[in-house]
Homo-oligomer: A and B are copies of this chain.
Amino acid sequence: MKASILTIGKEILIGSILNTNSKYISEKLTDMGIDVIRQVSVDDGLDEIVEELNYISKSSDLIIISGGLGPTDDDLTRDAVAKFLNRRVYLDQDEKIKMEERFNRLGRTMTPNNLKQVMLIEGSEKIDNHWGVALGEFIEFNNKKIILLPGPPNEMEPMLDYYIANKSFTSDNIIIKSIDIIGLGESIIEDRIRHMEFNDKSISINTFAHGTYTEVKIIGKNSDKDKLISSIEETVNSLYREFKTHIYSENNDDVAKQIVDILIKNNLKISFAESITGGMLASAITDISGASNVIESSYVTYSNDSKNKNLNVSKETLKEFGAISENTAYEMAKGVKEKSLANIGVSTTGEAGPNSSETEVGNVFTCIYFGEDNYYTKHYFFSGDRNKIRRSTVNRVLSHILYLLRKNFKE
């Protein structure tokens, strides 16, 4: 089954927003085994949309359209689809009543334009919108399908999820499995998979770096369903044999959230001593709801002086080994654990550039400190600009924290 995605709106064409809808829809369809052959964006013009539909409908079995269903005069998508299909639009009386009630409740006046959002195309199936006003629609014509959704991602995404979860669009035998790996970089993972020499032609394996973790995506297609199931199983098993405890999830779980969950479950507190990451680690953890149970205080110690005064990193260590060293990372992590009375102290120190100081740009040392006999220092070397080096440090440290928590504590 071949699909095209059509997103509509001037804000996309003038480059004022990133088109996250196309990515979201593509990902969902790919996961369902549907081939996305085209993403297109055009302006909110009646003729432009009709022309584009004429063209893309030639090669697509499924067209997903988002945007242009709002109440203003610029919002012409529904009319354009109706024109393309040569069908009429009508007012959905149930939705009109609901809308009137809503406006009354809010004490606002309804304008004729508002009613545009509860119009439907003849012969379509309504897709409810519990997150906003504009209705979605599912339409079949000439053995092809159109799904019409509003543009705001916070409406479009749940509407699509909800709708396609209850539909089957393809009859091919497709199985997709994801395996999520922490504590190893993507290039190492790719390399190890390449050496595993999978020869099953019905299976394709791709890795996707998600920052804190790497997803290994296995897509299997085979007309013989039993064979397909056993192929997938075999592949998954060999990956588990290869990567063992580095596999932490099969559901793209958020690494920071997993960390907070394990810390809460084990009644543990964490604290950070950040130099190169300057607050990014604390921010990643406090981004998770429930973080107040696991973090009380955290420190950005940028200068040598503040590493010494706030965290008791000794002046001798700073002088002999430098601020960017394994020894300093160790003393920072130990110091912050003791200072904050946490169970785990985590430190980062390194050179993010653009100008190198005492050490080369990209040089990073980290330490995860549980206790005197239980700490883990790491030395990384990251390439890229300032932002990328800091980001990579955060990702690898979070990944490593989760790996160690899973090994040492109950989930």
Contacts and interface: CB of A to CB of B under 8 A. Distances in A.
Contacts of A24: 15
A111 interface: no
B25 A15 contact: yes
Interface stretch (A78-86, A128-136, A181-189, A279-287): A279-287
Contacts of A310: 297
Contact of A42 (B38, B278, B285, B292): B38
A263 B386 CA distance: 20
A39 B40 contact: yes
Contacts of A298: 278-279, 299-300, 302
A67 to B, nearest CB: 13
Contacts of A305: 296
Contacts of A29: 15
Nearest to A282: B279
Contact of A278 (B27, B30, B283, B302): B283
Contacts of A238: none
Contact of A291 (B277, B278, B340, B355): B278
A15 B31 CA distance: 10
A1 to B, nearest CB: 14
A28 B14 CA distance: 9
A295 interface: yes
B37 A42 contact: yes
A194 to B, nearest CB: 15
A40 B20 CA distance: 14
A383 to B, nearest CB: 12
Contact of A43 (B12, B20, B37, B303): B37
A101 interface: no
Contacts of A278: 279, 282-283, 285-287, 291, 295, 298
B286 A279 contact: yes
Interface string A300-318: 1111011001100000000
Interface string A207-247: 01000000000000000000000000000000000000000
A300 B295 CA distance: 9
B299 A292 contact: no
A300 B280 CA distance: 11
Contacts of A272: 279, 300
Interface string A7-47: 00000111111111011111111100000111111110000
Interface of A: 12-20, 22-30, 36-43, 48, 52, 55, 208, 272, 274, 277-283, 285-287, 289, 291-292, 295-303, 305-306, 309-310, 340, 352-355, 386-387, 390
24 contacts: A12-B26, A14-B30, A15-B23, A15-B26, A15-B29, A15-B30, A18-B18, A18-B20, A19-B23, A19-B39, A37-B48, A38-B40, A38-B42, A55-B55, A278-B283, A278-B287, A278-B295, A279-B280, A279-B283, A296-B303, A296-B305, A297-B300, A297-B302, A297-B310
